[in-house]
Structure 1
């Protein structure tokens, strides 16, 4: 089938080339003839014309309303037989008598024939020729740009993947078990449509994949097509946006026409919010986008459900979509493709490490624990960075330290070895980081410390403290949030306790602590002053999670006061805690200055030495966890 289409296209191209060459040859011949006639004529004065008649040098004359064409006699000196002369017609009343007396032949030129020919050529033939050339060139340029005739206006230009082109299945998608379960029904419908139609069931025409960037929405859509073994038409929502009114709607029509030819099939529209934005009464409107949206709504209502065409769309901004797009009969099924949990991250790492040579010491669960909140794209990048690090270090296998380094590169950037701190700055950074770690170790319900380093990184960090959660948490208590704020303020508090100074190193800590305290007040209802009143609402939850204020200016002032009280209380308690454990702070900081990097086990040995009960509590906690796992398996 493809060979036949290619042969037809080649034949059409040959025909178009032949037509173009014929047109160009005609224009060249006309231009050559006109140029030749121009070169073979010469203008003379009327006096010289009369002198030529008097000297018997004129053979014939053609008189028109504006000029007189003169044909000289052959072999007359100074004139060529092929040269035609002309002069202006001055309406000389004696000219006819002079010509008669001299025996010169003369005649009048037909005005009707001359002007009719010029009119036909100038206003009929030339416009047709120029339009044909423009159409041909526009078609050729449009094809080079991947479009059809006339620059591809009105063509959807969707990428069409045939059944055998898609090698992706659900085995290539990990960490999204719930999403895959929701889409299995669509796959079964595409493969066994009659089973549903016989009983009278109608599958949803559209499914909306919603989730943060990088979670694998496009990959999941391709996997659906791969599992169903049907054609896959992929297009981005921005491709429908055109400068000319009506072209976006024409592209939508063309897309569904193409889908009907390939049915059963899947239409996938990525970033559907580009055209599906809500049609509200804003002052700034886009008629072209609204026409495109209206056409999409009409097409989803209009196509035959028995042809087994399923429309999948992806977005990370579902809150701005038009309500008509989400009603039953269109995108009425919403599939959440959210950030994976710990088990999901482990499965994703296994998928992306299939073609990578891993060493015997590789523990993917540890890497998954160190990357909470990471999406599939982040984890794939970590595996690739680990492989690059192994090659850089001259190893044939990827070791655990390569993957650990990859995680740190993604979080904080590469080590900046050329940034040399002064001895005083280095001490401040060391005490700052140990301050974070010590507060985390001495408080309950905080994540254990995994690593402390004072090696500068390219993303601006002069050092950092890495904490790894022991398990996934889906609910966080007020006490845990308060402890998190105290850990964030531990660095600045350590600087104040030891050096009695304030530096710029805590800027990011202060920003995160303030954001957490504000969320406690405005979103989570964790203060007595406002009880359980929602003062802010989260918008764009799958992007930046920005909060929008929903209260008066007076209430905002009270919110600021409450946030300040939380921060101040946490700051005072943190300084008190570090003051009581100043000996530990000094001892661990000096050790860190010597080693530059220490891991959690080394750090906790100092803490257990002073507080052995913490070690016993941890051992009991691990034993309870192991017993719980054994009971679950049983």
Structure 2
């Protein structure tokens, strides 16, 4: 909906001027007297204008065109049965065939009845000021409004430019920041590195008297959702200092120089409120590597580059006694400009990693503090089945479990609420489609093939759940996760993952003698693993320890990952196919030898549709593996 121009104050002023004009008119003008309209002649009722003249009841008249105004001696009401009050002033309309002159007898009739014939209107009481207000008041009002609007527009343009240059950072006072380190879990190493920053903001004299200088900038780097923003707010909450928060993209505008102006204003506000914290989120939006030379993406007038230069200048301009710390957060630290990371600017980097199993358990404890948990909820088990999840994912999981428990009418949040919510988050909500018996059985064999290979392959991740309930784009799913966190992957583990991905396709081939399109995502996954084994991790003797495929964070033009020759590309493709073919042959033999286990798990899956870990291993005639008691949770 479009707003009316001028704003609320403008319309208040217009309304006030109109009221003032009306009041002045009411005070200065004496007003008009009540008047009655009578017919020129009415012989039937004997109360027309002519009849009133003949009766001597008309005192004076005046004529304007064909209209006659006059004044009665005694008040008259017309029509006689009207509810209006009688009036002495009257007006009537002169017929077209009658003229007010001496030849037709009307003037003579008026003179015979001693009626005063006047040139001044009977009902016009306007004076000089009244005429002035009526004639020039609206014009003066319009002129005033035009002048006022023009000045406002001129001032507004200057004010708009000024407001563009002001920082849009959101300031939160230290006492209003409720987030502390108690609300940050699972990233203890990162919290430990920031404890020194908190202590400096609380006791700067302790470091300054020894000549020490706290890092001016601290860069928080990590995956999205690991808690970088939460950690920055916790630093401000622990230190009890003002917290200026802004996204790097808010600095950049279409007008060159606005971003630099906002940077100057932000640092000025922070220095005035010192000790304080400036938090710049998504720093890579303006801090990415600058181009050099005369390429098409270089240039000193680039708005992003000018903003970055201003940040560098402001951080260099910190005095020895300034107690302002800049916290930056990014998901891609590898693309940041080297000038940002040199000593004296963002000279300390704090990596905020994804939490391990123990870290996920602590995060669950934080986000379930306000949830009534049932006795069957074991946070340690839930942490074990959520590998790879970060703080934001776990917070979402706890919230979804609470919502699901409420919809189901549970008095407390149960384990099944957590597991079903996890499936919904990872796999999507169940689809309302009905599979034919043949499609359902084929899907069950496909998922059982994945599960059996995962159960019988040494070193493969234990199977946690098998389901043939259609979700999003898949008709079924097999979930596997390790007992302990993995920080490195050897050849056996990677080839084991390739085998598990091949299990579904080969199970269909063993049972039906044909294959289907249901293995599309499996093929994409195993191809990616095999290609990275060859091109990035040096796990092929034919290629050797040579990087021929860029990592996810690098571009194709960086050192070590330049474009390869056609012969090398063909060699990579042959090696990828060799690795996959070798695993294919082994999986085919494995499922052929264990056809009974495949059939048993499939039949049980058709009955239950979803099997948890213990039920799945039992249906296959195997014993579910358990993590040794001495295996640390954060191994």
Query: What is the distance in 1 between the residues matched to 2:563 and 2:487?
Result: 26
TM-aligned CA deviation for residue 506 of structure 1:
0.6
**What's the offset of the Cα at 1:552?**
2.6
Deviation at 1:186, TM superposition (A): 0.6
Structure 1 CA distance, aligned partners of 2:585 and 2:11?
88
Tell me the distance in 2 between the aligned counterparts of 1:210 and 1:386: 30
Determine which of 283, 289, 292 is the counterpart of 2:307: 292
**Cα distance 1:277–1:499, how it changes in 2: closer, same or farther (>3 A)?**
same
Task: Give the 5 Å matches for 1:51-450.
Answer: 131-135=150-154, 150=161, 152-281=163-292, 282-285=295-298, 287-416=302-431, 418-450=432-464
> Distance between the aligned counterparts of 1:629 and 1:551, measured in 2?
43
**CA-CA distance at 1:463 after TM superposition:** 0.8
| Aligned match for 2:469, one of 455, 480, 497 | 455
Cα deviation, residue 218, structure 1? 0.6
5+ residue gaps, structure 1: 1-12, 30-74, 77-81, 83-120, 140-147, 542-546
CA contact (8 A) 1:23 1:129 kept: no
State the match for 2:78 in structure 1.
none
1:295-332, CA deviations, whole angstroms, 9 ceiling, x for partnerless residues? 11111111224120000010111122111111110001
Partners of 2:339 and 2:15 lie apart in 1 by 54
Please state how far the C-alpha of 1:607 moved relative to its aligned partner: 4.1
> Which position in structure 2 is the counterpart of 1:510?
523
Per the TM alignment, residue 505 of structure 1 is displaced from its structure 2 partner at its CA by 0.7
Q: Give, in angstroms, the shift of residue 128 of structure 1.
A: 7.2
Q: Deviation digits for residues 442-492 of structure 1, max 9, x if unmatched? A: 1100111121111111x2221111113111121221011111100110000
Q: Distance in 1 between matches of 2:605 and 2:14?
A: 81
- Asked if 1 retains the 8 angstrom alpha-carbon contact of 2:460 and 2:497, the reply is yes
* Distance of aligned partners of 1:436 and 1:388 in 2 relative to their CA distance in 1, 3 Å threshold: same
What is the CA–CA distance in structure 2 between the aligned matches of 1:183 and 1:130, rounded to whole Å? 53
CA distance in 2, matches of 1:248, 1:319: 23
- Report how far residue 600 of structure 1 moved: 2.1
What secondary structure sits across from 1:235 in the alignment?
strand
SS of corresponding position for 1:269: strand
Provide the C-alpha distance between the structure 2 equivalents of 1:396 and 1:126, rounded to a whole number of angstroms.
Answer: 66
CA contact (8 A) 2:200 2:214 kept: yes
Q: 2:227, 2:391 within 8 Å by CA — same for their partners in 1?
A: yes
Cα distance change of structure 1 residues 369 and 629 upon mapping to structure 2, 3 Å threshold: closer
Moved more, 225-234 or 552-561: 552-561
TM-aligned CA distance change 1:375 to 1:526, over 3 Å: same
Greater helix fraction, Structure 1 or Structure 2: 1
Contact 1:135 1:150 in 2 (8 A): no
1:384-438 Cα offsets, whole Å, 9 max, x none, are: 110011101101100011001111111111222x210111111110000000011
Q: Please state how far the C-alpha of 1:126 moved relative to its aligned partner.
A: 11
What is the 5 A alignment of 1:491-510? 491-510=504-523
Give the root-mean-square deviation of aligned CA atoms. 3.3
2-side partners of 1:276 and 1:628: how far apart? 42
CA shift for structure 1 position 244: 1.1
Secondary structure of 1:517's aligned partner: helix
505 and 529 in structure 1: CA distance in 2 versus 1, 3 angstrom threshold: same
| Structure 1 residues 500-533: Cα deviation after superposition (integer angstroms, max 9, x where no partner) | 1111111111111001111111111111112211
| Deviating 4+ runs (over 6 angstroms) | 16-25, 125-128
1:626 maps to which of 611, 614, 629: 629
User: How many residues are matched?
Assistant: 507
Gaps of 5+ in 2: 1-6, 23-118, 121-125, 127-139, 555-559
Which whole-Å CA distance do the structure 1 matches of 2:272 and 2:552 have between them? 40
Could you list the per-position Cα deviations for residues 164-206 of structure 1 after superposition, in whole angstroms to 9, with x for gaps in the alignment? 1100000000111111011111111111111111000111100
What is the CA–CA distance in structure 1 between the aligned matches of 2:576 and 2:537, rounded to whole Å? 13
Return the offset for 1:215: 0.7
Instruction: Name 1:466's counterpart in structure 2.
Output: 479
The alpha carbon displacement at 1:138 in A equals: 5.6
SS in 2 for 1:213: coil
Check whether the contact 1:20–1:133 (CA below 8 A) recurs between aligned residues. no
> SS at 1:306's partner residue?
coil
> Cα 1:550–1:126, aligned 2, differ >3 Å: closer, same or farther?
same
Written as runs of structure 1 = structure 2, the 5 A alignment for 1:569-584 is 569-584=582-597
Q: Structure 1: how far apart are the matches of 2:14 and 2:470?
A: 68
Task: Judge conservation of contact 1:221–1:268 (CA < 8 Å) in 2.
Answer: yes
Counterpart residue number, 1:110: none
Please name the residue that 2:75 is paired with. none
Q: Normalization by structure 2: what TM-score? A: 0.74
Change (3 A) 1:629 1:508: closer
